[in-house]
């Protein structure tokens, strides 16, 4: 290990990329993770953290920019935390993502390269998100260049966070990840609330009212849901805002005031008050229709979600089987498989998601899906009397609890389809199943272009 000190500057060449979007450099074979870098970058980096087997650093100067870099279309790219790879050619982004999935699976689960399929690219790399969350700030973030200009003052902001700062917001006038209509609603909302006199909530003092603007849009109907999250009930004061939205934006189908009095900086609300319009949006994926309420979990890339579900359907190969769907959310995967299944049982800890799943099954006329609310690791033991032939598992980023893995090994389904947004925990869980299951296929799926995030679908067969 080289002698390193905090805040020491070193020249580094970035060799690889790690999950999380950080570049990997080596100093005398010692690993250093460097934020906001990609392979080919040569940087003067400052050490900020030193561990036994690695260090972390950030670039203070780019000596040479990677030839993989181009010009990002977004003017906010340098300072916004939304999409760190927007200046990288899309084919290279896909290569980075597949390489990371492969590397993690090799080292943790011993998976051979031939098992990992080519990554499934997104059908649309801009304007693909059906949901965006924007934060209010009393004074927006200024770039170093703007700070040098005495004529530019910090002003009211509505936008996205500066990477690493929960209380600093970049004013976003146009986000390339959402539709033109959503951008128009964003800019109108900024203009309206800037002039309204309603105080902005401050995440440090916990004073103020305006917190978040959440926009959701159905790709099948084009309709938009506007959710204004505030610290207190603002429904009576929002009549003019609602009226203006109705006049200016015909696609706005519903407006909610979400109330979040908790200090945590999250855009979810404790209560949602419908101020105007329809209580839900309707989205169609394949032949199925899904209801989307203000707090529904739903894949944020509608077009790629269809491809993801089709892939799961193909890998599952359900033929009049009993299917378990662990961490079933709002039931979209279960509903996609129901037509070929004898019965699908979905297990989900969030009661509201279970209610949504039951309603979505009813909307689609599906009667062979049962959705159960509770902790998955406790529930699965209660259903051993109806063991599945096919098991779908789509856990949170933390992966499966060891008790869930133990139960899966006991009930021994013929086939497991593991869906993951975290390659490391996916590889860990696959390794735990390795004594009883063979990995047949691993298929990475790009749900989030211009970010390091990657989804994977794994097909495992009982030995």
pLDDT in tens, 184-218: 999 999 999 999 999 999 988 999 999 999 999 99
Whole-number pLDDT of residue 203 = 87
* Per-position pLDDT tens, the chain of length 463: 778 889 999 999 999 998 788 999 999 999 999 998 999 999 999 999 999 999 999 999 999 999 999 999 999 898 887 888 999 999 999 999 999 999 999 989 988 877 899 999 999 999 999 999 999 998 876 666 666 566 566 689 999 988 776 778 999 999 999 999 999 999 999 999 999 999 999 988 999 999 999 999 999 999 999 999 999 999 999 999 999 999 999 999 999 999 999 988 888 899 999 999 999 999 999 999 999 999 998 999 999 999 999 999 999 999 999 999 999 999 999 999 999 999 999 999 999 999 999 999 999 999 999 999 999 988 888 898 999 999 999 999 999 999 999 999 999 999 999 999 999 999 999 999 999 999 999 999 999 999 999 999 999 999 9
Start-to-end Cα distance in the chain: 43
CA–CA gap between residue 348 and residue 351 (Å, rounded): 7
pLDDT digits (tens, 9 = 90+) for 131-162: 999 999 988 766 666 665 665 666 899 999 88
- At residue 83, what are phi and psi to the nearest 5 degrees? -150, 100
Helix axes 402-411, 423-433, angle to 10 degrees: 40
Whole-number pLDDT of residue 380 = 86
Give catalytic residues, as residue numbers. Answer: 421
Sheet with 271-277, side-by-side order of all strands: 169-171, 157-161, 131-137, 210-217, 224-230, 252-259, 271-277
CA–CA gap between residue 433 and residue 144 (Å, rounded): 51
What 8-state DSSP symbol labels residue 431? H
Reduced to 3 states (helix: H, G, I; strand: E, B; else coil), residue 421 is coil
Is residue 108 left, alpha or beta, with left meaning phi > 0 and alpha meaning psi from -120 to 50? alpha
Whole-number pLDDT of residue 113 = 79
Reduced to 3 states (helix: H, G, I; strand: E, B; else coil), residue 181 is helix
Query: Does this chain's domain 9-64 share its CATH topology with 131-285?
Result: yes
CA–CA gap between residue 187 and residue 226 (Å, rounded): 13
Domain 9-64 class? mainly beta
Asked whether 33 and 22 are in contact (CB, 8 A), the reply is yes
Reduced to 3 states (helix: H, G, I; strand: E, B; else coil), residue 358 is helix
Q: What are the residues facing 228 on neighbouring strands?
A: 213, 257
Asked whether 226 and 245 are in contact (CB, 8 A), the reply is yes
Domain boundaries, the chain: 9-64, 94-124+301-462, 131-285
Residues 383, 388, 394, 399, CA torsion sign = positive
Whole-number pLDDT of residue 201 = 94
Regarding the domain delimited by 131-285, which CATH topology (the fold level of the hierarchy) does it fall under? OB fold (Dihydrolipoamide Acetyltransferase, E2P) (2.40.50)
The residue whose two tokens read 């003067």 is 44
Asked whether 72 and 48 are in contact (CB, 8 A), the reply is no
Average pLDDT taken over every residue of the chain: 93
User: In 369-381, which positions are buried (b, 16+ CB within 10 angstroms) versus exposed (e)?
Assistant: bbbbbeebbebbe
CA–CA gap between residue 235 and residue 242 (Å, rounded): 10
Could you tell me the pTM of the whole model?
Answer: 0.92
Between the CA of residue 463 and those of 316, 323, 416, 440, 442, what are the distances in Å? 16, 19, 12, 11, 17
The residue whose two tokens read 């406790």 is 378
Regarding the domain delimited by 94-124+301-462, which CATH topology (the fold level of the hierarchy) does it fall under? Rossmann fold (3.40.50)
Burial classification of residue 353, based on how many CB atoms lie within 10 Å of its CB (0-12 exposed, 13-18 middle, 19 or more buried): buried
**Strands 252-259 and 271-277, bridge-based pairing:** antiparallel
Whole-number pLDDT of residue 292 = 94
Whole-number pLDDT of residue 101 = 94
pLDDT digits (tens, 9 = 90+) for 388-414: 999 999 999 999 999 999 999 999 999
Burial classification of residue 236, based on how many CB atoms lie within 10 Å of its CB (0-12 exposed, 13-18 middle, 19 or more buried): exposed
CA–CA gap between residue 255 and residue 134 (Å, rounded): 16
Whole-number pLDDT of residue 145 = 65
Reduced to 3 states (helix: H, G, I; strand: E, B; else coil), residue 113 is helix
**Strands (DSSP E) found in 307-389:** 322-326, 343-348, 369-373
């Amino acid at each position: 290990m080289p002698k390193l000190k905090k805040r020491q500057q070193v020249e580094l060449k970035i060799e690889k990329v790690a999950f999380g979007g950080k570049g990997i450099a080596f100093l005398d074979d010692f690993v250093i993770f460097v934020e906001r870098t990609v392979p080919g970058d040569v940087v003067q980096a400052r050490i900020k953290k030193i561990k036994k087997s690695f260090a972390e650093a950030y670039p203070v100067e780019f000596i040479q920019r990677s030839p993989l870099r181009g010009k990002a279309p977004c003017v906010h790219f340098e300072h916004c935390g939304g999409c760190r790879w927007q200046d990288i050619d899309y084919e290279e982004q896909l290569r980075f993502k597949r390489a990371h999935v492969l590397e993690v699976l090799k080292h943790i689960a011993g998976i051979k390269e031939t098992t990992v399929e080519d990554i499934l690219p997104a059908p649309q790399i801009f304007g693909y998100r059906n949901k965006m969350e924007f934060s209010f700030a009393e004074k927006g973030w200024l770039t170093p260049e703007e700070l040098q200009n005495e004529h530019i003052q910090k002003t009211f902001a509505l936008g996205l966070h500066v990477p690493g700062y929960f209380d600093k917001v970049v004013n976003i006038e146009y986000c390339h990840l959402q539709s033109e209509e959503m951008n128009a609603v964003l800019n109108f909302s900024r203009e309206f609330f800037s002039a309204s006199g309603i105080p902005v909530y401050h995440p440090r003092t916990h004073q103020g009212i305006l917190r978040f603007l959440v926009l959701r849009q159905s790709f099948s109907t084009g309709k938009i849901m506007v959710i204004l999250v505030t610290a207190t009930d603002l429904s009576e004061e929002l009549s003019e805002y609602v009226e203006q939205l109705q006049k200016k934006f015909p696609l706005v189908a519903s407006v909610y005031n979400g109330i979040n009095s908790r200090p945590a900086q999250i855009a979810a609300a404790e209560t949602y008050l419908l101020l105007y319009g329809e209580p839900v949006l309707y989205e169609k994926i394949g032949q199925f229709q899904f209801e989307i309420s203000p707090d529904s979990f739903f894949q944020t890339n509608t077009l790629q979600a269809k491809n993801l579900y089709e892939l799961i359907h193909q890998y599952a190969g359900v033929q009049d089987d009993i299917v378990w769907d662990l961490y079933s959310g709002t039931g979209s995967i279960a509903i996609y498989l129901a037509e070929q299944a004898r019965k699908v049982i979905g297990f989900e800890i969030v009661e509201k998601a279970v209610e949504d799943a039951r309603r979505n099954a009813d909307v689609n006329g599906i009667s062979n899906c049962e959705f159960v609310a509770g902790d998955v690791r406790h529930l699965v033991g209660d259903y051993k009397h109806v063991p599945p032939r096919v098991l779908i598992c789509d856990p949170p980023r933390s992966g499966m609890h060891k008790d869930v893995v133990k139960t899966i090994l006991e009930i021994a389904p013929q086939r497991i389809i593991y869906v993951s947004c975290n390659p490391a925990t996916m590889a860990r869980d696959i390794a735990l199943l390795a004594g009883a299951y063979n990995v047949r296929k691993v298929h990475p799926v790009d749900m989030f272009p211009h970010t390091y995030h990657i989804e994977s679908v794994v097909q495992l067969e009982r030995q």
